[in-house]
Amino acid sequence: MKRVISISYSITILLFLVFNSACDKIDNPVRPIYGDLDTSLFPGPGFYVFPEYDQNFLSDVENILIEDYTGHRCGNCPEAAIIAHDLKEANPGRVFVASVHASPGDGFQEVSVPGDSDYPKYSHDFRTVAGNDYVEDINGFIGNPQGMVNRKLSDIDNDNWEFKAAWPAAVNDIITANTPLQMNLQVKTNYYTETRGLFIHVQSKTLTDISGRYTMVLFLIQDELIAWQKDYSMPPSDSDVEDYHHKDILLGTINGSYGTELFDGASTSGEIFENDYSYQIPDDVEYNTTAVAGEECGLSIIAYLMNRDTYEIIQVTEIPIYVTY
C-alpha cells in the first residue's frame, strides 16, 4: 500500500513533544504550511491526536462541484448564483458550490478604495490567486457569469466552461450516468478558535486501476458574507445592493491552485494516499467566532480529486469546519 504523506509522523510527534517549533507564515489570504504541522496552532490540552479514517467508508457515486465564476460588479451574476444554490439545495450531499470571483482583467472584480467616487461600495476584495489562475489557464472562459461542472468538457464548445443555463442539464447528466467511482475521498478537520488554527487531514483511495496525473485540491469556503453586489434584476435605482448575501465564497486554496500531486503514471486499486496540512485563518476572514465545541463556524473545506492534464474532477466532497473545543 502506497502512502503519500505531507508530513513525517515521527518528526511531527517529536515536535509535539518538544513543542517549541514554529513555522514562518506566508502573508496570503490562506497561509499554508507544508512539511511539518505548525504545532503553535494547537492550543492543548494534551497532545494533538490525528483523527481516524473510517475504513468502511465508501462513497459509490460521483459528487459534483459547480464553480460559479462571478463578480461583485457583475449585474447578471446574481441570477447564476441562484441557479447554483438551487442545484445544491435540490441535491444535498451530491452537489457543492464554489463562488469564484475572477475574470481576465478583473473587470467585474474592481475594488473601490477611499477617495473613489463609489467608496465604500465594492470595497471588499473577493479575488483569489486560484480564481485568477483558472480563468487564465483553463481554455474557453468568455466572461462572467460562466462556470464549470466538475470541469467536464462541454458538448457544444469542447472546453470546460458552461453558461449558467446549461448547469442543470450538466448536473443531471452526471447524476444519471452513475459512472463507477475511480477514487474515494475522506476529509477530517480540527479547528481551534483560540489560535485560529485549522488542521486538515485527507485520505484518497484508488478504487480501480487508473492512469494519468492526478492531484488533490483543497478549497477554503466561506458560507456567507453580506457585501455590495450589482444586481440587474433589481430596479435601476437599486441595482447596487448594499446587503447582498454572497454564498459559498472561495477564499483561497490550502495547497495551491492545482493541489498536491498524488501520482503521475498509474495507481492500482486499493492504494491509499494521505495528506496533512495546517494553517491559520487570517484575521480578516469573517466567521462565527462565538461558535463553541461541536458547532459550525461558518467555514467549510471542499476537497476534490482532479485529472491535472484535463482539469476534470473525478470526486469532490465538502465538510463544514466544526470547533474542536
Q: What is the mean pLDDT of residues 164-185?
A: 95
Q: Distances in Å between the alpha carbon of 290 and those of 47, 194, 199?
A: 25, 11, 19
- Rounded Cα distance, 315 and 255, in Å: 17
Let me know how long the chain is.
Answer: 325
Which three cell numbers, joined as nine digits, stand for 53? 479514517
Residue 134: pLDDT over 90? yes
Q: Is the pTM of this model over 0.85?
A: yes
Q: What is the mean pLDDT of residues 174-199?
A: 94
Helix ranges, the chain (H):
9-18, 77-90, 129-137, 167-177
pLDDT tens readout for residues 275-316? 999 989 999 998 998 899 999 999 999 999 999 999 999 999
Top pLDDT among 22 and 194 is at 194
Residue 17: pLDDT over 60? no
Q: Locate cell 460521483: which residue?
A: 62
DSSP, residue by residue, 141-191: --SSSEEEETTPPPTTTSSS-EEGGGHHHHHHHHHHH-PPPSEEEEEEEEE
> Which pLDDT value is given to residue 92?
96
Q: What is the mean pLDDT of residues 47-60?
A: 84
Q: What is the mean pLDDT of residues 8-33?
A: 36
For a pLDDT cut of 70, what percent of the chain falls above it? Answer: 88
Q: What is the mean pLDDT of residues 181-193?
A: 95
Q: What is the mean pLDDT of residues 65-83?
A: 97
> Which pLDDT value is given to residue 236?
73
Top pLDDT among 305 and 13 is at 305
pLDDT tens readout for residues 234-272? 777 679 999 999 999 999 999 999 999 999 999 999 999
Neighbours of 247 (CB within 10 A): 18
> Which pLDDT value is given to residue 275?
95
pLDDT, averaged across the chain: 88
Q: What is the mean pLDDT of residues 57-84?
A: 94
Which three cell numbers, joined as nine digits, stand for 205? 483511495
Q: Do residues 186 and 203 touch, judged by C-beta distance below 8 A?
A: yes
Q: What is the mean pLDDT of residues 64-71?
A: 98
Which three cell numbers, joined as nine digits, stand for 220? 477554503
Name which of 43, 2, 110, 71 is nearest 244 in CA terms.
Answer: 71
Q: Do residues 245 and 181 touch, judged by C-beta distance below 8 A?
A: no
Residue 117, amino acid: S
Residue 297, amino acid: C
What distance lies between CA 222 and its chain's CA centroid? Answer: 9
> Which pLDDT value is given to residue 3?
32
- Rounded Cα distance, 57 and 52, in Å: 12
> Which pLDDT value is given to residue 22?
36
Per-residue pLDDT band at 104 (split at 50, 70, 90): confident
Name which of 243, 249, 224 is nearest 71 in CA terms.
Answer: 249
64-70 and 95-101 beta bridge pairing = parallel
